[in-house]
Structure 1
């Protein structure tokens, strides 16, 4: 291990070009300590190295599958211990089934039914619902002197979309959305009540959809037959954890980025045909999931110019990779007309076997929001001084908005 692991503070993570410059300049892979943690990890910050790591079969997600086990330091264990502290034991199975933590055949078994159910047709069919929900939220907030685009727009919109996708009945959506808010993004005081409410409701929903299928995700998963009932409940939590908080925060951070670049905001408003380019550029520029899941070496081997030991922990700085000056011209510059090559051209949705299942839905929702909020009407304005916009910090991942007060 190099003598001085880089201590990544939230402030360093907030500056993806200069904050990672020291690690990028090293010949191999440097060691870093992620914000809020104590355990060092090999951190990949260069774009091409990151893409290679995400498809490297000798780097796996499940530490227990390292041949012979591992006694190497494990930042993921430290992070997970913080994340599940205080949860009732009977519900932990639904929180530990995250697809990001599985590899190979088990990952394929869990992912394939969801991939088959998450069709382009099903995602496309959500567009009218997303447009209607966004317009209704905007209309309500526009009547107010000030509104919070994170808490009162992005979170409710993301939650409503997931409820619609899964198949929560219209009469139940308000109640289920309350449980989701308590669990996923409330003040933490009712997190257990939210967790229990979601589990019991989803169990009941699975039973009802088995008896009377509809055109929703739960019915599709039951028809596929590749998942147990408990695994379908786990899918709902996967969608809550990955389909609500990260997209909501991305929308708020993306809108703030455009407010910080008024010339780009004006251009998008005047040239709505640029929406198709602006969405991937905002995904690259913001990269809400800034640090990827921890990977473990299954054997001793050399990667990106560094010898890795069996069981050693490696992770990808997705935010840093998406701002690598060798991969992007002027990566610190937001450019809504930026052209990308084949594929995404960025790593905001990951790469390889663990590529985000909800990427198409994320692109759809982002496009709708930019259209409804910035193109079809005058853009909102910050209701506070830029220096007074409040940020919080997550262990292992750095900074995120706490609110985005605007005038509509």
Structure 2
């Protein structure tokens, strides 16, 4: 199987008109090896097929439910590298990700979070997001150079998640420091950050049980659908999905606008275009390039390919959001682009695993674009040559910014 698999590089994964265009043109589903991995997987790249895969009941997330399968497993390879060196007592909090469950178990774990993650709770965060964004911008505005990712997007996303969960104001600097060490620091204090967050969240759950407030932890306790350990796991779910991806998206979206100055100028001249620009940038960037691994529960034909029981399938969300069959000139950033019903893109996924935090992501993005790009007298400028902007990559995914030096 591996002999004819296409080995994707981070550069190919990042290029919507490169390898993806070739894969989309091929019949069926090709075998590929994702960047940094060794295990082949069937890759779904066409928009229509990606949506179908994300709602196909014969493609599941939990491989343990597929009996008697010895097919190669890229997800196991990826998880093993991510959990390497993590103490056993903490593994449960990192391996209980909602994306890895299906059916009734997924519903049991997701439903309390969905009930607690109300539109009112998200909307109530707007003043906090606005205040935090303005303060961060003011702090960085007089600097000759500022890192929009490390000094703005990450701190903002971290503060928002802390406020949502219910971290007490007096503890936020300490907890945000642990989150930074665990999620996006230099790697030297990952275990200290992990331990700090776990123990703090356990204590927070105990305190909120006797003294509830209007926060997510209190709402989950009142709902009664989760154990204490599962609530701790929720905090890590929010750290892993609600901090790094949104922070990277904000930086990549700003870079995309700087790469398309005509679109930035149009947005600044017509702020009402924000309602279209946010989904268009979500589509254009599609920060999570690859979805979770899916496994065939039986032998069946999908998207023109004969799948074997236990065979691994991955959806390329970035490819789907740049499919010319779904979008007119998809590689073009167009802040006036109109979408039909729904999101108009797959950046938040589709189907039962659609991103719980999508509404919060849209709120934060809208606030940031308004405060950073529209309200200010001058737009941000790159503080280095475009060729000197630094990128890195994670196993199984594409390029991501390491920093974004700008002048505000």
**Which interval holds the TM-score relative to the shorter structure?**
over 0.9
Write the distance in 2 (CA, Å) between the matches of 1:402 and 1:264.
24
Match status 1:234 vs 2:233: yes
CA contact (8 A) 2:251 2:404 kept: yes
SS, match of residue 324 in structure 1: coil
CA contact (8 A) 2:294 2:314 kept: yes
SS, match of residue 350 in structure 1: coil
CA contact (8 A) 1:17 1:324 kept: no
Q: Deviations over 1:242-301 (max 9, x none)?
A: 000000000000000000000000000000000000000000000000000000000000
Q: Deviations over 1:153-202 (max 9, x none)?
A: 00000000000000000000000000000000001100000000000000
SS, match of residue 215 in structure 1: coil
> Which position in structure 2 is the counterpart of 1:74?
73
Write the distance in 2 (CA, Å) between the matches of 1:38 and 1:398.
15
SS, match of residue 293 in structure 1: strand
> How many aligned positions are there?
407
Match status 1:215 vs 2:214: yes
Write the distance in 1 (CA, Å) between the matches of 2:148 and 2:31.
37
> Within 5 A, what are the aligned runs for 1:376-391?
376-377=375-376, 378-391=378-391
SS, match of residue 337 in structure 1: coil
Write the distance in 1 (CA, Å) between the matches of 2:169 and 2:17.
45
CA contact (8 A) 1:206 1:218 kept: yes
How far is the alpha carbon of 1:18 from its aligned partner? 2.2
Q: Deviations over 1:367-398 (max 9, x none)?
A: 00000000001111000000000000100011
CA contact (8 A) 1:180 1:194 kept: yes
Match status 1:280 vs 2:279: yes
> Which position in structure 1 is the counterpart of 2:352?
353
> Within 5 A, what are the aligned runs for 1:142-181?
142-181=141-180
Q: Deviations over 1:323-375 (max 9, x none)?
A: 00111000000000100011011100000000000000000000000000000
Write the distance in 2 (CA, Å) between the matches of 1:133 and 1:381.
21
How far is the alpha carbon of 1:69 from its aligned partner? 2.8
> Which position in structure 1 is the counterpart of 2:63?
63
Match status 1:102 vs 2:101: yes
Q: Structure 1 stretches of 5 or more lacking a match?
A: none
CA contact (8 A) 1:17 1:331 kept: no
Write the distance in 2 (CA, Å) between the matches of 1:106 and 1:17.
38
CA contact (8 A) 2:2 2:40 kept: no
How far is the alpha carbon of 1:4 from its aligned partner? 1.7
Q: Structure 2 stretches of 5 or more lacking a match?
A: none
> Which position in structure 2 is the counterpart of 1:48?
48
Write the distance in 2 (CA, Å) between the matches of 1:379 and 1:4.
48
CA contact (8 A) 2:60 2:102 kept: yes
Q: Deviations over 1:117-155 (max 9, x none)?
A: 000000000000000000000000002111000000000
Write the distance in 2 (CA, Å) between the matches of 1:195 and 1:3.
40
> Which position in structure 1 is the counterpart of 2:311?
312
Kindly tell me: are residues 272 and 354 of structure 1, through their superposed partners in 2, closer, same or farther at Cα, counting changes over 3 Å? same
Match status 1:24 vs 2:19: no
Match status 1:332 vs 2:331: yes
Give TM-score, length-normalised by structure 2: 0.99
Write the distance in 1 (CA, Å) between the matches of 2:14 and 2:96.
30
Write the distance in 1 (CA, Å) between the matches of 2:103 and 2:227.
19
SS, match of residue 314 in structure 1: strand
> Within 5 A, what are the aligned runs for 1:194-209?
194-209=193-208
Moved over 6 A (4+): none
Write the distance in 2 (CA, Å) between the matches of 1:291 and 1:165.
27
Write the distance in 2 (CA, Å) between the matches of 1:151 and 1:251.
11
Q: What do you get for the CA RMSD once the two structures are aligned?
A: 0.7
Match status 1:7 vs 2:7: yes
CA contact (8 A) 1:17 1:325 kept: no
> Which position in structure 2 is the counterpart of 1:322?
321
Write the distance in 1 (CA, Å) between the matches of 2:142 and 2:333.
31
How far is the alpha carbon of 1:3 from its aligned partner? 5.2
